[in-house]
Structure 1
């Protein structure tokens, strides 16, 4: 027994050793490459036999006992790769397998790539590849748990059947999976990925969710959170579903920002311009109770809605409410679409409930207000809309209200079967121009009522009646007194039983039938009579007028319409055109059909026509004959005068791809002879080929002819000739005859081919006369061949004065594929003249410069590339004379020389003489691409008459320079105004300034006057109205005004001097700074001449040029001195009167006007004080007399003045010596004279002598200083 036990012991030990050895051997073997290759082969074979796809493993590493690494795992389906995993790591436990559980505690796929493609049958390749080849024989009892499922840096491309690929990049997934008898649970703890699609914004998704069937076999989603973001938008989804089978869920979509740019990529038909935001909350206990809450913000608008539904019934039951607040749909949509969508802020509520899936079970009610309704540029105002819908019947009531009028629309629409409708419209005081706010829409007020009742909307089958009444209305200057339309539509025909609109002097009526389809024929009678077209043309914004009467019939169908009738018109005026009287008859059929089907006749006769060319009469007849071709016969007779007329007769034939004009007769009578067509002529246009045959006009020895063919292919042969054509009759037809006469002969020849034509043009004009100036002649020749045009031109004024131009210009012509020309290559032109008399410019330029004389010599060459030719040579003006009309300055002698170079124009010399003065200049202007770039010019003036008009006269010295970019030059320098006379339009010194006005103050003492209420001492800055070119100019000019300068008007004169600075920055406003002082002078107020003792006119800058005035004058009456102060802005001066010694206010005016205080006036004088003041204000008449005397004596610059007290004269002998004298004209006659010597600007010596005993002889030394 012991031996047996011992044997068993050794056997057990041996067995254990064997098992251990086998286990060790298996462990060692399974770790070898041989085993892993064997395992890889068996796995590949098993998968290939089990699944429809081809799954292969490139390499297996690790141990099968718990940690395996699979490399290069590929899944292919039908020859294409569906998935590829470079590295797949699996960590699992073997012992739980014996308990019926597969425990994979780690499954990691690194950088997997998926290629999902949907086939034409709708199946996805990946799912098909993993489908078993044969159904499973039973169910597995294994429980599967994957504790750490990860995808790292995954990529996928998803290509649905539509072909629009979706890509996923850098996807990260961390999840857990449990599958067992209680059910399945799949929990995604973290999911991130980048998603993109061509043409759509890139986006990222991030979130987590859980799906389980543990509690409910149909599934549940305990949690779901997803966040989607693009560069511009972001949204989140939070949801729970406790029982998917019972449809129990709660989901909320929150949109923080839905960018318009993103949404427009998906909704291209209605592109938004505003971002959206909001929430949508959807809950369901079951499908029997589904709730939706909606809140959306769009721009300034809000949309809130709530809906409930029972979706379990055969006919779903639902109710919903939608609230709108400040919703402007027009403002949300892009302009290209929005122009057809009304604008305005919509507020209101829409409620709906119903049963079923069709509109028959719907009931709805709407109450909406649209504030600021606008469409197509019209501002309609506020719209209120109330609507009801029940049993497929809609009732509406819309009211439009605004300052521009009111409109109401009410009625019902029944859509049971064919649509039935009954609508009423009322418009009251509707002003379309106020709504449109456009000048093109005329003013007016519209009043009307209308009613439409009927069935159907198809013109062929509808039955409807329209009743419209137009109440008294206005449209622009036209007034509509009444109007009425009664019509009905039946069987495709519109029956108008009454159509009438009546206005002052006008009436329009229509009665009859108009067919709306081609199955019937209509007949409509219409009349129009208007004795005054002016208001109707004014509605269209066109000037004109006249009277018209039209009566006719329109018969047939839209495809074969016939119009017949007659019209008479008289005194027609339309813009620049006019007709005294006329008559028109017409009878044309086949309108609306093919062109060749038209037939009929139109005859028109006009008398007293002015259409740019006056005609005594114009008559025309057009006859059209239907047939295989459209054949139109035309006759025209026009008469201008007894010796000027036109007669034409011919046929115009339209054929497919061919139009032919056959001229049977053409006669043109002119003052110089009669032109006639020598033979019938034919002009035919067939496709791109023009052929002219027999076109020849002749008048005595004058001939014009055209013969030949021009086409877009093949040989060309066309010749046009003009022989001895007299120009004077042609010039007589022009609205402004320039006095042109002469004889012209010319010839044009076209040969070669359409791709390489040859063109020669030759012309000559002899015995030319223009504006009364005779010219010897003009000849020119142009030859085109190959790629160049040769030019030769000679203009001969007389044997000594002529201009020659010759050379070549690169040009390529062709009309084989339509007319085409191309300029390229090098240009070579030379223009020269030894002397060209410029007198002809007086005819060509009858504007600001007149009486032009002088000789122009030139020698200019242009060489080089056509786009960048290089000019060289010179232009010179000698003995130039002209009158600058706006300045009244006549230049007696002027010389100019310009030298041209490729990059500059050099002003070599400029000189001119005018009166006793002269100017000179020189400089340089550089060029860039043949446009002036930089300027450097200087001009010197010496006693130059800057202006010599009746209003202004000034003589100046000065030096000016212009430098800098030509588009923003800077002009600097100094101007000395030696002497001048200025008569401004401002009436600051005349009597009209001092009529009754609150700015006139009479004070009883001599104090500094206060500024007027609201007066500012600063000039306002306003936008400069100078031209756009002047805007860029910079100015820095100092103006010195000498003492011999005067400001005068009809009654007063003031001697001035001063210094001004004119400044303007580039792109800035013009400003003037400085002070003008009054040296001496007189100021006439209410007929009395005040002596100006001191004064200033101060410019403080700004572009309004409204200087500050400070003038003081004195007038002596007996022992009284009346003092007048003129202050304030020149645009609104303030006059203050005071006296020494001090007088009451009433006495100041009495002494000024009557020479004695008011207390010394008689009762009649006191009562007539105002009338006496008006009668004594006669200074304007005496001043006008003084001006006339001065002009008659030729001493208008001597300072001659006249008043009701005497006559005076004064003149500067030099800049610093002023001599004056006067002669009294009153009963106390006397003479006086004075000499004033200005020692310094502030010190002067005055000596005077008088025959009056009250004045005597005086000598004064005066010191003046402005504080």
Structure 2
């Protein structure tokens, strides 16, 4: 097959080709020459059906001669104002020779705004005319001699090779790497320095920024002299080393730590974190061991965070797809505050994350120091509790807590036990009431259980307005109470309204009824063992109750109540109560 001349002309550029190819079985050879001058790469890529976006003006000369299966090839090219996918560059210069299974790169220069990537050297390589490329076993012992240099190079070009994994990659890199040895046993030496890098992966919810790296490579041993980066505002430091075998990462021995930095994830979690972790083993199946200490933390689980999985296996499966195992102890100091619309708890203790990275388990326990839980829109103050993890994935954590609230001078207690997904809830009271009476208290702030039909009808006629008011309180006033308590830094704030039937009442919305009682109660923890509360009617000056509750032990509590029983001076009532929980 002979081509005397093939010409493709553009407005400013031209591509020409000529030569011949002999396909005779006994003498397969060729002699072909191609050249281009200012050819538009976008039009050329469309002509050959290349889907990737390619732009720029290219000029090149290429010659191929000799045996078809092992031709001698020379190629030189220059691209100006180029773009490949999302990577934009100013100039690209390439010159290479291929002869007797050796690819010799004489010049490789990629330039972007004066920042360059350079390469030169020899690499054993086998070329196949039918389009398949492979490294022949006969070439495995031929020496390699290749040098790669990066001068303030922008790493963004790497992302075009990992489009499905890397969302964003940038950073200035200076490196000088020398590849020697053979294809069978390559040896790498050199150094890499990266400053102000930024990495964002599709599978990770957080972006890595402020990445600074200093690596030194000595005969395939990579030493991390300095490496630090930020995830949000949390800075992490790294040192150590790992080996390269056939340019694959092996034998990790890496330390990762932080210096009591603040960790912040959206508006969901924040804490002071002190991290000390060690990575060992192969890169594809590492062993992670260490301690994460959290203090001054807050975990805020709002309604709009429901897309974040509670199951730790589900969470980690989204973050990492590596084999390996983990043994990480998470210590909580100075009380971690865990908040949702239904509870606000201060926690302390430690939990170990152990097992396979793909399905880790939680073991350990957290002590509930103080806080509250909400049932039927009533806030119960926690007196004691704990959360236990036994080979848990999160949803099967074991709850054991006791909390109380006061309604109509009756202490109502709630015990929560069992696993989180199916908790067991039991109510009790002092003085002793049945469960139906307790539910009545929680729903209506009064005990209506046990009344016969006639008695209930009389009470409902007399106090229907109270039921309406309390119903409104359940859905509206209690929300206001919570907002006021939070804004004032209180743990408890309650408002109680009671109406009575009265002829001639001038209440606009409830004619025939008058406001009998309007009272409030406030309370606050001054330590994890000391709780102080005060309650008083707003329409009766000089009457109020001050209650002090002190936890002597986890199961022993002393309560003291000082109350004025009348508006006259000197009329006080003092009560002591010692409560022991079996």
TM-score range (shorter-chain normalised) is: 0.7 to 0.9
Task: Give the whole-Å Cα distance in 2 for the aligned partners of 1:754 and 1:947.
Answer: 61
Match of residue 1050, structure 1, among 341, 344, 347: 341
1:192-207 matches, cutoff 5 A? none
Question: Which has more radius of gyration?
Answer: 1
State the partner residue of 1:417: none
Residue 900 (str. 1) matches residue 221 (str. 2): no
State the partner residue of 1:1263: 552
Tell me the CA shift for residue 725 of structure 1. Answer: 3.5
Tell me the CA shift for residue 869 of structure 1. Answer: 1.6
Task: Give the whole-Å Cα distance in 2 for the aligned partners of 1:740 and 1:1232.
Answer: 70
Does the Cα contact within 8 Å between 1:703 and 1:723 map onto a contact in 2?
Answer: yes
State the partner residue of 1:1101: 391
2:92 aligns to what SS in structure 1?
strand
Q: Deviations over 1:555-581 (max 9, x none)?
A: xxxxxxxxxxxxxxxxxxxxxxxxxxx
Mark the runs of 5 or more structure 1 residues left unpaired by the alignment.
Answer: 1-689, 990-1021, 1184-1201, 1212-1218, 1239-1243
Q: Deviations over 1:791-829 (max 9, x none)?
A: 121111111x1110111112455769x999743411111
Task: Give the whole-Å Cα distance in 1 for the aligned partners of 2:287 and 2:122.
Answer: 40
State the partner residue of 1:809: 123
Tell me the CA shift for residue 709 of structure 1. Answer: 2.5
State the partner residue of 1:1070: 360
Residue 710 (str. 1) matches residue 21 (str. 2): yes
Q: Deviations over 1:1009-1055 (max 9, x none)?
A: xxxxxxxxxxxxx999969x978634332211124422222343222
State the partner residue of 1:1143: 433
Tell me the CA shift for residue 1108 of structure 1. Answer: 0.8
State the partner residue of 1:376: none
Does the Cα contact within 8 Å between 1:975 and 1:1037 map onto a contact in 2?
Answer: yes
State the partner residue of 1:793: 108
Task: Give the whole-Å Cα distance in 1 for the aligned partners of 2:164 and 2:262.
Answer: 21
State the partner residue of 1:857: 174
Does the Cα contact within 8 Å between 1:1112 and 1:1126 map onto a contact in 2?
Answer: yes
State the partner residue of 2:295: 978
1:1146 aligns to what SS in structure 2?
helix
Task: Give the whole-Å Cα distance in 2 for the aligned partners of 1:1173 and 1:705.
Answer: 91
Match of residue 1134, structure 1, among 402, 408, 424: 424
State the partner residue of 2:79: 765
Does the Cα contact within 8 Å between 2:362 and 2:394 map onto a contact in 1?
Answer: no
Match of residue 64, structure 2, among 728, 745, 750: 750
Change (3 A) 1:1144 1:1257: closer
Tell me the CA shift for residue 1101 of structure 1. Answer: 1.9
State the partner residue of 2:144: 827
Task: Give the whole-Å Cα distance in 2 for the aligned partners of 1:1085 and 1:910.
Answer: 50
Task: Give the whole-Å Cα distance in 2 for the aligned partners of 1:888 and 1:1023.
Answer: 14
Task: Give the whole-Å Cα distance in 1 for the aligned partners of 2:167 and 2:326.
Answer: 29
State the partner residue of 1:1157: 447
Task: Give the whole-Å Cα distance in 2 for the aligned partners of 1:1091 and 1:733.
Answer: 75
Change (3 A) 1:911 1:890: same
Tell me the CA shift for residue 1105 of structure 1. Answer: 5.5
State the partner residue of 1:1082: 372
Tell me the CA shift for residue 831 of structure 1. Answer: 0.4
Change (3 A) 1:1177 1:835: same
Tell me the CA shift for residue 850 of structure 1. Answer: 5.6
Tell me the CA shift for residue 1090 of structure 1. Answer: 2.1
- Answer with 729-738 or 845-854: which moved more: 729-738
Tell me the CA shift for residue 903 of structure 1. Answer: 3.8
| RMSD of aligned Cα (Å) | 4.6
1:1079 aligns to what SS in structure 2?
strand
Tell me the CA shift for residue 1256 of structure 1. Answer: 5.4
Change (3 A) 1:954 1:963: same
Change (3 A) 1:890 1:866: closer
Q: Deviations over 1:1121-1140 (max 9, x none)?
A: 33222211112112223333
Task: Give the whole-Å Cα distance in 2 for the aligned partners of 1:757 and 1:955.
Answer: 64
Task: Give the whole-Å Cα distance in 2 for the aligned partners of 1:734 and 1:945.
Answer: 54
State the partner residue of 2:190: 873
Tell me the CA shift for residue 1235 of structure 1. Answer: 5.5
Does the Cα contact within 8 Å between 1:1089 and 1:1203 map onto a contact in 2?
Answer: no
State the partner residue of 1:1041: 332
Task: Give the whole-Å Cα distance in 2 for the aligned partners of 1:1040 and 1:738.
Answer: 50
1:779-790 matches, cutoff 5 A? 779-790=93-104
Change (3 A) 1:1089 1:1234: closer
Does the Cα contact within 8 Å between 2:234 and 2:264 map onto a contact in 1?
Answer: no
Task: Give the whole-Å Cα distance in 2 for the aligned partners of 1:884 and 1:1249.
Answer: 54
Task: Give the whole-Å Cα distance in 2 for the aligned partners of 1:849 and 1:982.
Answer: 29
- Please report the TM-score for the alignment, with normalisation by the length of structure 2: 0.73
Task: Give the whole-Å Cα distance in 1 for the aligned partners of 2:467 and 2:3.
Answer: 88
Residue 921 (str. 1) matches residue 212 (str. 2): no
Task: Give the whole-Å Cα distance in 2 for the aligned partners of 1:960 and 1:879.
Answer: 24
State the partner residue of 2:561: none
State the partner residue of 2:484: 1207
Change (3 A) 1:1171 1:838: farther
Does the Cα contact within 8 Å between 2:353 and 2:360 map onto a contact in 1?
Answer: yes
Does the Cα contact within 8 Å between 1:1153 and 1:1176 map onto a contact in 2?
Answer: no
Task: Give the whole-Å Cα distance in 2 for the aligned partners of 1:739 and 1:944.
Answer: 43
State the partner residue of 1:696: 7
User: What is the aligned length?
Assistant: 509
Task: Give the whole-Å Cα distance in 1 for the aligned partners of 2:259 and 2:46.
Answer: 48
Task: Give the whole-Å Cα distance in 1 for the aligned partners of 2:82 and 2:482.
Answer: 64
Does the Cα contact within 8 Å between 1:875 and 1:898 map onto a contact in 2?
Answer: yes
Task: Give the whole-Å Cα distance in 1 for the aligned partners of 2:493 and 2:357.
Answer: 55
Task: Give the whole-Å Cα distance in 2 for the aligned partners of 1:1070 and 1:821.
Answer: 41
1:716 aligns to what SS in structure 2?
strand
Tell me the CA shift for residue 1178 of structure 1. Answer: 3.8
Does the Cα contact within 8 Å between 1:977 and 1:1039 map onto a contact in 2?
Answer: yes
2:438 aligns to what SS in structure 1?
helix
Residue 719 (str. 1) matches residue 33 (str. 2): yes
State the partner residue of 2:527: 1237
Task: Give the whole-Å Cα distance in 1 for the aligned partners of 2:86 and 2:519.
Answer: 60
Does the Cα contact within 8 Å between 2:224 and 2:241 map onto a contact in 1?
Answer: yes
State the partner residue of 2:559: none
Change (3 A) 1:1144 1:1229: closer
Does the Cα contact within 8 Å between 2:444 and 2:467 map onto a contact in 1?
Answer: no
Tell me the CA shift for residue 957 of structure 1. Answer: 0.7
1:701 aligns to what SS in structure 2?
coil
Task: Give the whole-Å Cα distance in 1 for the aligned partners of 2:84 and 2:129.
Answer: 38
Tell me the CA shift for residue 1098 of structure 1. Answer: 0.5
Task: Give the whole-Å Cα distance in 2 for the aligned partners of 1:1121 and 1:717.
Answer: 100
Change (3 A) 1:944 1:746: farther
Q: Deviations over 1:72-131 (max 9, x none)?
A: xxxxxxxxxxxxxxxxxxxxxxxxxxxxxxxxxxxxxxxxxxxxxxxxxxxxxxxxxxxx
2:436 aligns to what SS in structure 1?
helix
